Amino acid sequence: MTRFLVVPQWQGSPSTRAMTLIDGAEAIAGDLPRSATQRIDVPVEAGEALDTGVRRYSSLARTRDLLAAALESADADGSEGIGVVIGGDCGVAVPAIAAAAARHPRLALVWFDAHGDLHTAETSPSGAFGGMALRAALGDGPLAATHPVAPERTVLVGARDLDPAEDEFVAGSGIRVVSTSDLDDPASLAEAVSTTGADAVYIHVDLDVLDPAAVTGVGFSVPFGVDAGALTRAVGVLRGRLPLAGASISGFAPAVPDTAVDDMGTILRIVGSLA
């Protein structure tokens, strides 16, 4: 059975609409089975940087610890099934990836995102952790994963808005890149992951990876994105080859709560492909 952890974290987003991520997470939670869903109490306050170079670091660190404890408790109880984290900003994926990597040392990470999220505190133009989340999952930065994934077992999918520092990191890191057009072949993602030698996979989906025609409730939409059907078909082929060790969805930020319903069909289709 799939377990859902709802983490309405907004503090990692650089968007002026960051707090609408709370509405997005709660909207998704409303369509999940109540008995299989746990909510993490995200701090109300914005938080302080505490000389880390990461905006709102104190609140982000508190949420990280709460989520890590919830994941550890589920593992200790012998809970069966896949854990799917519902954000919030992309930072919610980092402790979940670490928990999966602790169980699977040869874990592959698939990161669907229009952006790279590969900044460090030193290169980030905003200081927002959401733009550092993938880099943290690889083990770099003040909120780095306790069990990181190796760059050479990481696949970045659908990214089309990277800053120069992120492009430079990708070029020298061994990260594999799957483009939007590559997903026209549903097997392309599975082929990219298979070359990593991984024995399990974690999948993260930032909803801004989708084309703006597919979803409107995101903070930073980027043209020429992934078709929702192509995403779910690629995930289906990948899951047929490797066990799914965990997953997360982030970035749902409806302009007002009443408009959330406009995107829910697409979002629930993605949830279904991971659950």
As given in the structure block, the two tokens for residue 214 are 């597919």
State the CB neighbour count (10 A cutoff) for residue 244.
21
Encode pLDDT of 16-38 as tens digits: 999 999 999 999 999 999 999 99
pLDDT of residue 146: 96
Sorted by sequence, the CB contacts under 8 Å of residue 84 that are 6+ apart come out as: 2, 3, 4, 5, 246, 247, 248, 249, 271, 274, 275
How many helices (H) does the chain have, and how many strands (E)? 8, 8
81 pLDDT exceeds 80?
no
Encode pLDDT of 146-202 as tens digits: 999 999 999 999 999 999 999 999 999 999 999 999 999 999 999 999 999 999 999
77 pLDDT exceeds 80?
no
- pTM given for the model: 0.97
pLDDT of residue 82: 83
Rounded CA Rg of the chain: 17
pLDDT of residue 132: 98
pLDDT of residue 78: 57
State the CB neighbour count (10 A cutoff) for residue 154.
28
**What percentage of residues in the chain have a pLDDT greater than 90?**
93
Count of alpha carbons within 13 Å of 188, Cβ hemisphere only?
A: 17
3 pLDDT exceeds 90?
yes
- Specify the residue for token string 């939409």: 221
Sorted by sequence, the CB contacts under 8 Å of residue 85 that are 6+ apart come out as: 4, 5, 7, 67, 92, 93, 96, 246, 247, 248, 249
Sorted by sequence, the CB contacts under 8 Å of residue 104 that are 6+ apart come out as: 198, 199, 200, 245
- 102-140 CB burial, b ≥16 within 10 A, e <16: bebeebbbbbbbbbbbbbbbebbeebbbbbbbbbbbbbb
80 pLDDT exceeds 90?
no
Encode pLDDT of 90-134 as tens digits: 999 999 999 999 999 999 999 999 999 999 999 999 999 999 999
As given in the structure block, the two tokens for residue 271 are 């949830």
Give the E-state strand segments of 88-140 in sequence order.
Answer: 107-112
State the CB neighbour count (10 A cutoff) for residue 8.
23
Encode pLDDT of 211-259 as tens digits: 999 999 999 999 999 999 999 999 999 999 999 999 999 999 999 988 9
Pinpoint the alpha helices (H) of 145-245: 164-173, 188-194, 228-241
Encode pLDDT of 36-60 as tens digits: 999 999 999 999 999 999 999 999 9
